[in-house]
Structure formats: C-alpha cells, structure tokens
Structure 1
C-alpha cells in the first residue's frame, strides 16, 4: 500500500514552515498591483523605518494591511491622514514568521479632485439609470412630525443649527439624536447603522441627515453608493442637509427632500408656530369678513324683497278691490234673492195647482173615496167589486168611516 502524499492525510502532514513558505512562494508570483482605497488607520512608529497603514474599500467592509517605508509617507504628494483617498502601487507579501499578509507599497499617489468627481458622476449615472432619483419615489414630509430623527456629528454646528432652529419654530419638537462620524472611512458604516435604527423606530416620522460644509474629500461619504442605496430603502422620509448650497453629494438626489443647509432642513421638517398662528388668525379674519359680507349681502336682498309692494303692503291689492268685492257681493245677493223669489212664486203656483188637483180638494167639494177594507186597500171602481157583506172604507174631507156593502142597488 502506497503512502499518501505529504499534506494529504493526518499521517503525513506538512510542517507549518513548509506551508508558510509555499503560500509565500505562491503570493510572490502574483507580481505588483495598483490599488485604490481610503486610509482607515495610519501608524508611523518613531523608532521604526516601516509605516503601517490600513487601506479600506469605501464601498464595502473590506480592508488591506499596507506596509511601506516611513519616508514614503512623509514624502507623499498629499498629506496622509484617516479618510484620505489614495492610489498605491505595491507587491503582495506574506510574512512567514507571523503568517500575515500585507501589501508592500513603493508608490503612493493622491486621487485628484477631477478623478473623484468623475467617479461620482459615473455613480450618479448608474443610480439614475436604476431609478433611485425618480421623483415618483419621493415621500412627503409630515406637516407636524411626532419625532425627528437627526444624524449628525457630535457637538457639531449642524446639530446646533437644526435643533435650535427647529425648537425656535416649534418648541414642542422632539428629536431622536444619533451622533456619528461624518467624514473619513468609518463615516458610512456608522451613518448606515444610524439610518437603519431610526427607520425601524415607529415614533420617528422624518429623518434628517446633516453635516456642515467641507471639501470634496470631506463630503465623499455622502456620495457613497452604500449610503445612497440605504437612503433609498428607508420607509421613513429622509431630508439631507449636507454642506452648503453649492455642495451636491449624491445622497441629496436620493433623499426625499434636499435642504440647502442644516438651518433650511430645520425649517422644512417642522412648521413655524408663530407663522401658523398668524396664518390661523388671518384665516379667521378672512372667514369672519367673508361671513359678514355674506350676511350683509343677504340682508340687502331681504330688504329689497321687503320693499317690494307685494311684501311692503300685502293687503293693498285686496284693499284696492274692496268696493269691487262689495259690489260683486251685493249683485250676487240680489241675483240670488231674485232667483229665490222667482222660484218661490213658482213653487207657490205649483203648490196651488197641486192643491187644486189633489184628492183633498175634491173631497172638500163633497166627494168621497171608497176603498175595499182589505190588505190591498184597493179603490172601489165597480159595484161588482163590492158584493154584499164587503167591508168598505169611505174617506171624506174630514176623515174616514167604515161600512158594510149590502150589494148593488138594482133600482139604478
């Protein structure tokens, strides 16, 4: 049975020195490389000829350890400090004694303002193409926020401006303050963390990101892609107040509202109590004036209506026709009385004629009406209708008598 190759099994391992040397040999073959980043930490020891630098990627949480001669730091084309953007040329190096990796640098160049601006412009075009600057995505700021989230440098002029102006405009305003670094390599992670914390707070209705003026290099964190994307993801409206009016970092384009200065941001997030009171007083005065005008206009309309004859003297039309009404009433009464008299005379004539023609008048002249005293009380019209023994009822002018028939009279 063949023995496994060295380093391929626990029975035949490589010693540390061998692995370290193999890693060093492999890294030495990589050759030289140019690298760009921000200086996150710079350590130049007084008694050492080597300077130690931590170079950070501004767009990601990654860094490299850099070593270089200390004279290279002192003779750099720009003063090196934390947050400085640089380009370095060096060779990857693996220190076998400590098992650490670093980049041994032999050249340091500053990133020019023109190059920085060109990169910011390229990032602006990228974010614009993705729609992060679309005005339709902008969220409105509440008229009176419950709590204002404020991200700014500790004890900075921007913090003082925002809070003092806001409190002067609306004394009851409340702040959720988050102090962060606002320049340098550590600024973006701290600002992003503060943004996430305030955005998750249900009491915070608007977030203000404020910083005073500065150079292009000082304001670089506010054109960072990570920060811009984090602002775009916020569900709470974000107001940016970075630098002064001419300054225009990319986060201003992503934010829901861009304020020219921190003072302007304070004016935008809270209303002016005095101005609002004056506006309310003005609206009350205008509404009262409008109401009075309406009342006066309606009063004039009523006065005009009341002054019309039909309303001023509602009985005038009737008074003017009183005589006519009286004449009409007299005429109607006369005609009615005349009609009544005529009809009364007619009734009298008819009554007299009826009396004359009636049976009572005939009876009064000596005639009588003979009826058969039965249920039908039929009038006797023939002698044959009254045989002997028939009960008869004889009606005369002053009454009626009852008799019994003896039969027809043969003598007649």
Structure 2
C-alpha cells in the first residue's frame, strides 16, 4: 500500500487488491460471539451471517463444511455461537468476509449465567422495584399490541379481550418475535406505540417456545426500552414457567397472552353484575335507613307531647290550678293559725296589762322621770309625783312622807 502511483503510473487493480489482501491477512484471528442467520451451504462451504443481537451489525462468514459438521450440536438459524475467525479478502471478487476456523455453540448454562448477571444488574439499578410499576387503567380506550404476524398470541389477546368487552379498541404492531430482527422490531414498535397519545396500555405478547426462542425478550436494550416507557406495559411472553427479563421491568406480568387480555380488559358481564350488586346493596341500605327513620318518627309522633299537645297544656293547667288551690289552702290555714295565735296573745296581753289592773281601782305612782314608785320610804316632802288612773293622770306633791 506504500507503492508510489500517479495518473501516469497507475497500478493494476489486481495489484491493489493483492496489497489489500496482504494487509488484511496480517490481522490474525479473533474469537467473536454472535447469532447465526442466513445459513446456507454450497459445495464444501457453508455460508452464514454472524449478527450482533444487540446492535444492528452483521458480517459475512464462510465456514468449511468439515468445521461446521464438527460442531456439536450443529448450529442452526438463530443459534448463538462463539467463532474463531480470521478476516479474508477475496481478490478475484474484491469482497471481504471472515473465515470460521472453529465454532463453539453457546450452551444453555452459559446463556442462563449471562441472563442471571443481567438480571442482577437490572435489580441493582432499581428497574424491577415495585414502586416504579404503574397501575393499569380500569378501562383502557385503546390498547397497543405487539405480537408476531398471524400468531396465536394475537388471536388469543384480541378474541378474549373482545369477548370480555366488545367495544375495546386495539392498535396492533406485528413484528418478528424471534430471530435476529426481533429485538429491533419489537423496540421500534414499542417506541411507536409509546409516542401515541391514544394508547393507554401496551401488551407485548408471544406464545411459548424454547429458551433460545425467547432470548430476544431478555435482551438488555429491549429491557431498558420497556423500563423507559411512559405508557404502562404488560408482558405476556411464553407460558407460566417462562420468565424472560422483560417480565422484571414490565408494569404487569401475565402468564399467557390470554391472561394478559383478562388482566387488561375488565369483563363487562362481571362489571354489570358488580354494578347490580352494588345497586341492590345501596337500595337495601337506603330502604333500611328510611325504615329506621320512619320508625323513629312514628315513635316520636306517638309520644303524648306530640300526639296531643293540648292535653299536655291541660295537664299543666290542672297542675297549676292544683298548686294554686294548695297554696291558697296553705295560706288560709296559716292566716287562721296566725289569727288564733294573735287572739290568744291579745287576751294574754289584756290579762297582763296594767290598764286592766287600773280599771279594777289601782293606780300607778311615778316619778317625773317615769320611774315607778315602789316604796314610800324613798319619798320626801315636796316630791312631785304622777299618779296614773285608768281614766287619766294627776300630778301630786308629797306633803309628809308616811311612817
């Protein structure tokens, strides 16, 4: 490739291609992993394409038949393998391809180990946390369905969903659900449905299959695409025993496509039965409440204060009159007793009064100061005294005290 050339001294194309072949042959061998597609054979050579399952990258590989047949089990379309390859440049055709020197199938144990490592990464990043998962709408207006072309999964979802709720609407995206193009097509369909504002929930459905068939649904790029969706995603891959990694990040896992239809779409018959039961229950509650209130009102109305309010007033009038009569009797009796006591007291006062004594011929002698003269010995000549009789009073002067 270092030859000097010019328009006047060009190299033949064969020489250029030979130099390219010499340069490529110095690259040596390398172990590479990929997925086999477009497998075919012609004569003693097997032709295939080694595709990267994550990126949309592939390379042509030629394999001697003896190398291909020495691989146990023999690789088939969709199989994951590890190859020892070296780059080759075909001078006659001016084409580039790899030549396989050894093929080793990727075993189930190794696949499971890789899936387990990816599962641990997903869990560690929190993509499988329950708090990230969103609740599905009760009755989605439009459901996005990603499934295989003319697949049983599509029929199961559509028929069961429409049997449960005939008015449900679907937007179906048919894609490859296994093989080298599955991851890219499913991811693109998921992105398309997620951008559609009319889609309320997305179902990714596929029937059962082997571990290798379901590998696209454990692809890291698809798993992260599902986790990044704004629309709730339901995973319905395989059967109950199948657990692709997409189940971890989906908002809801369904054991089968039929189960997905049952979980996403409510049963109109069950809902009508539920509405009828709730309506009957509500009616019983309301009727029971009305009956209790009517009974309470009837009991309240039956009370004397409400059934005959005038009677209560009359009873109160009778009580007032009875109390008034009782008060009158008590007052009269008290006055009578007080009058009798007064008469007795007056009689006693009359009996004990000095006036009565004076009427019997006695008199009361008093000093001018009003003191009663009780003894004659205390009087002297010239003392003035007052003598009170029953009919009046006279003033006297002591002429000579008595001895």
* Range class of TM-score, shorter chain: 0.7 to 0.9
State whether residues 75 and 105 of structure 2, in contact with CA within 8 Å, keep that contact through their aligned partners in structure 1: no
The CA distance in 1 between the partners of 2:98 and 2:309, in whole Å, is 111
Whether 1:30 and 2:27 are equivalent positions in the alignment is yes
State whether residues 143 and 199 of structure 2, in contact with CA within 8 Å, keep that contact through their aligned partners in structure 1: yes
State whether residues 150 and 209 of structure 1, in contact with CA within 8 Å, keep that contact through their aligned partners in structure 2: yes
Whether 1:94 and 2:89 are equivalent positions in the alignment is yes
Write the deviation string for residues 233-279 of structure 1: whole angstroms up to 9, x where unpaired: 22211111001111110111111111111111001111100000000
Query: Gaps spanning 5+ residues in structure 2: where?
Result: 326-403
What SS does the corresponding residue of 2:120 show, helix, strand or coil? helix
What SS does the corresponding residue of 1:315 show, helix, strand or coil? helix
Write the deviation string for residues 296-328 of structure 1: whole angstroms up to 9, x where unpaired: 111122122223222222222211244566799
Residue among 235, 249, 252 paired with 2:247: 252
Whether 1:83 and 2:74 are equivalent positions in the alignment is no
Residue 209 of structure 1 is matched in structure 2 by 204
Whether 1:21 and 2:18 are equivalent positions in the alignment is yes
What SS does the corresponding residue of 1:44 show, helix, strand or coil? strand
Whether 1:195 and 2:190 are equivalent positions in the alignment is yes
The CA distance in 2 between the partners of 1:13 and 1:205, in whole Å, is 65
Q: CA RMSD in A?
A: 2.4
Write the deviation string for residues 22-55 of structure 1: whole angstroms up to 9, x where unpaired: 332332222222111111211212xx22111100
Whether 1:43 and 2:40 are equivalent positions in the alignment is yes
Residue among 138, 142, 156 paired with 2:137: 142
Residue 234 of structure 2 is matched in structure 1 by 239
Write the deviation string for residues 157-193 of structure 1: whole angstroms up to 9, x where unpaired: 1111111110110011111111111111111111112
The CA distance in 2 between the partners of 1:279 and 1:78, in whole Å, is 57
Query: Gaps spanning 5+ residues in structure 1: where?
Result: 331-412
State whether residues 40 and 186 of structure 1, in contact with CA within 8 Å, keep that contact through their aligned partners in structure 2: no
What SS does the corresponding residue of 1:184 show, helix, strand or coil? coil
State whether residues 50 and 68 of structure 1, in contact with CA within 8 Å, keep that contact through their aligned partners in structure 2: yes
The CA distance in 1 between the partners of 2:93 and 2:228, in whole Å, is 43
State whether residues 232 and 255 of structure 1, in contact with CA within 8 Å, keep that contact through their aligned partners in structure 2: yes
The CA distance in 1 between the partners of 2:228 and 2:71, in whole Å, is 39
Residue 131 of structure 1 is matched in structure 2 by 126
What SS does the corresponding residue of 1:87 show, helix, strand or coil? strand
Residue 230 of structure 1 is matched in structure 2 by 225
The CA distance in 1 between the partners of 2:114 and 2:199, in whole Å, is 34
The CA distance in 1 between the partners of 2:274 and 2:7, in whole Å, is 84
State whether residues 48 and 61 of structure 2, in contact with CA within 8 Å, keep that contact through their aligned partners in structure 1: yes
The number of residues matched between the two structures is 325
Residue 68 of structure 1 is matched in structure 2 by 63
State whether residues 6 and 13 of structure 1, in contact with CA within 8 Å, keep that contact through their aligned partners in structure 2: no
Write the deviation string for residues 202-250 of structure 1: whole angstroms up to 9, x where unpaired: 2211111001111111100000111112112222111110011111101
Residue 277 of structure 1 is matched in structure 2 by 272
What SS does the corresponding residue of 1:181 show, helix, strand or coil? coil
The offset of 1:100, in angstroms, is 2.4
The CA distance in 2 between the partners of 1:8 and 1:243, in whole Å, is 62
The CA distance in 2 between the partners of 1:78 and 1:144, in whole Å, is 49
Residue among 288, 296, 308 paired with 1:293: 288
Q: Cα–Cα, structure 1 residues 109 and 297, in superposed 2: closer, same or farther, change >3 Å?
A: same
The CA distance in 2 between the partners of 1:72 and 1:182, in whole Å, is 30
Write the deviation string for residues 362-401 of structure 1: whole angstroms up to 9, x where unpaired: xxxxxxxxxxxxxxxxxxxxxxxxxxxxxxxxxxxxxxxx
The CA distance in 1 between the partners of 2:4 and 2:201, in whole Å, is 60
Q: Cα–Cα, structure 1 residues 317 and 43, in superposed 2: closer, same or farther, change >3 Å?
A: same
What SS does the corresponding residue of 1:274 show, helix, strand or coil? helix
The CA distance in 1 between the partners of 2:319 and 2:179, in whole Å, is 109
> Does 36-45 or 114-123 show the bigger shift?
36-45
